[in-house]
Amino acid sequence: MALNPYDTPRGKLRMRAESTRRQFLLLMGTIAGLGSLVFGGFKLLGFLFPAATSEAPPQFKTTFTVDDLTGGIDPTTKKARIGANVAGVEGRVNVVLDDAGIYAVYLVCTHLGCTPNYTTGVVAGSGKTDADADRRGVRTQSEQKPNGWACPCHGSRYYIDSTNFYGPAPRPMDWVDISIAPDNHFVVDRSSIVVYRQPGDITPPQWRLDPATGQNNGKTIGV
Amino acid sequence: MSATPSEVNPVRAFVAQVWGSIFRHGLPTTDKVAARTALTNFFLHIHPVRVKKSAIRVSYTLCLGGLSFFLFIILTITGLFLMFYYIPSVDQAYQNIKDLQFVATFGLVIRNMHRWAAHGMVITVWLHMARVFYQGAYKPPREFNWAIGTLLLLTTLLLSFSGYLLPWDQLAVWAITVGTNMAKYAPIAGPYTRYLLIGGRNVAQGALLRFYVLHVIALPLIGFLLMVVHFWRVRKDGFTGGL
């Protein structure tokens, strides 16, 4: 009777070695395959994060000039001829003029990112008074208006210095860098935040651009 | 030359061969042939060969899963029609939707069918899930199918969300702005998820194209594959009572 070579003690040992070797190779192959899938897949995600996008650049020049906003600078007082005012929305930015100078508010609601609208009756129905709104901004010489912004999505409201006072917004809107170009237009840089206030911070920011000198005072917050 | 009954008519033979190659049996007049019909036909094999009368009784459960699938079919067909006119470009998308409503014949009907079926599908999928939950139909041996069902619910909601952006009106843009900003609140992965979804910092051309690809290819394909598994498991796990 022929003997099955795998039935011998040596054969059994060999069979075990072969099967454990197969198991080992299978295990290694599985780890290598899964590993390359995971790492390769993770790197492939980079395809969806392009190195550059065709979005509008964060820096832009306004269509209106410094004089459009200020009515020109009075040579004796070195102040703007127009009182507190707000220019039209451009690139989701409102350029605000008050007695202390000029600043730019980036109109991205801090709740969920809609664009709040400028309004001159911002406190209506909010429980705040016109006097609360008037205390915001520097308006000693200028016409006082209870102005600010109201978000159309979920009703958040902001005073003219972008401090939130009503609705779900968790913190004030950010101020971005604004400067004056040689052709007397404003240059707004939305990628450069000059005032970033944390939730609950209601202090009026002091950062301003002086329209007479074209320089800002550098009083940034939170950046 | 006149044909005698013993001769084979070549035209008839050809027709019979073609017919026989598609349908492997005669008309299903007996139970046996009916069973074979269901087994050998691709479209009929989805249906069980034997169904208990109680299982197809339309009761208060209203066959909500079937209704969801029916709406999915309507959405697929009407969606295909809409794709003939719609271009996912921020300059053209809104005008294309207007063209669909006022220029294309039946465009208004087809667009509204797509819209209402979409709302309906979200409702029926929710109700279907609620029915399965309240009847305890998620319990073993159906727990795997319940898990597939939750993924199908998620796919349905994502389809609804991605389709919402495509008309490119104010409602669409700000709804997606709000929705993707919610995703941003998630720890660590949040901002990446938002960028991944909208392909930029703001809801713009990148977002429209990504949502379009998700809406017409990726999500329907995922949904279809999940449905195949879902229906297969319904067949294998059997029915509890009414559908």
Tokens linked to B143: 């727990």
Do A112 and B182 count as a contact with CB atoms less than 8 A apart?
Answer: yes
Q: Chain A contacts of B202, Cβ < 8 Å?
A: 55
For helices B93-102 and B107-134, the axis angle rounded to 10 degrees is 100
The confidence score (pLDDT) of residue B6 equals 61
Residue in this structure with the two tokens 């009847």, named with its chain if needed: B135
CA distance A33 to B105: 53
Q: Does residue B37 fall inside a structural domain?
A: no
Taking the domains of chain A in order of start, what are their residue ranges? 5-48, 59-195
Q: How confident is the model at residue A128 (pLDDT cuts 50, 70, 90)?
A: confident
With a cut of 90, say whether residue B228 has pLDDT above it. Answer: yes
User: What pLDDT, in 10s, does the model give residues B130-139?
Assistant: 999 998 889 9
User: Count of domains in chain B?
Assistant: 1
Test A112 with B178 for CB contact under 8 angstroms: yes
Domain membership of residue B95 as a residue range = 62-234
The predicted pLDDT at position B89 comes to 95
In this predicted structure, the answer to whether residue B59 has a pLDDT above a threshold of 90 is no
Q: What is the ipTM of this complex?
A: 0.75
pLDDT(A145) > 90: no
Residues in chain B: 243
Is residue B161 one of the residues assigned to a domain? yes
Interchain CB distance below 8 Å, B199 and A54: no
Pick from B174, B201, B206: which is nearest to A114 by CB?
Answer: B174
For the sheet with A164-166, list strands across it: A117-119, A148-150, A157-159, A164-166
For residue A153, which residues of chain B lie inside 8 Å, CB to CB?
Answer: 174, 178
Q: What average pLDDT does this structure show over B23-36?
A: 84
For residues B96-119, give the mean pLDDT.
95
Contact A50 B201 (CB under 8 A): no
- For residues B184 and B169, give the distance between their C-alpha atoms in angstroms, rounded to a whole number: 23
Question: How far apart are alpha carbons B137 and B131 in whole angstroms?
Answer: 8
Q: What is the pLDDT of residues A2-57, one digit of tens each?
A: 677 778 888 888 888 888 888 999 999 999 999 999 999 999 999 999 888 888 88
Q: How many CB atoms lie within 10 A of CB A109?
A: 25
Summary mean pLDDT of chain A: 87
Q: Which CATH superfamily is domain A59-195 in?
A: Rieske [2Fe-2S] iron-sulphur domain (2.102.10.10)
More confident residue, A89 or B165: B165
The tens digit of pLDDT for each residue in B177-214 reads 999 999 999 999 999 999 999 998 889 999 999 999 99
Lowest mean pLDDT among A190-204, B39-53, B216-230: B39-53
Q: Is residue B10 part of a domain?
A: no
Domain for residue B35, yes or no? no
A59 vs B62, which has greater pLDDT?
A: A59
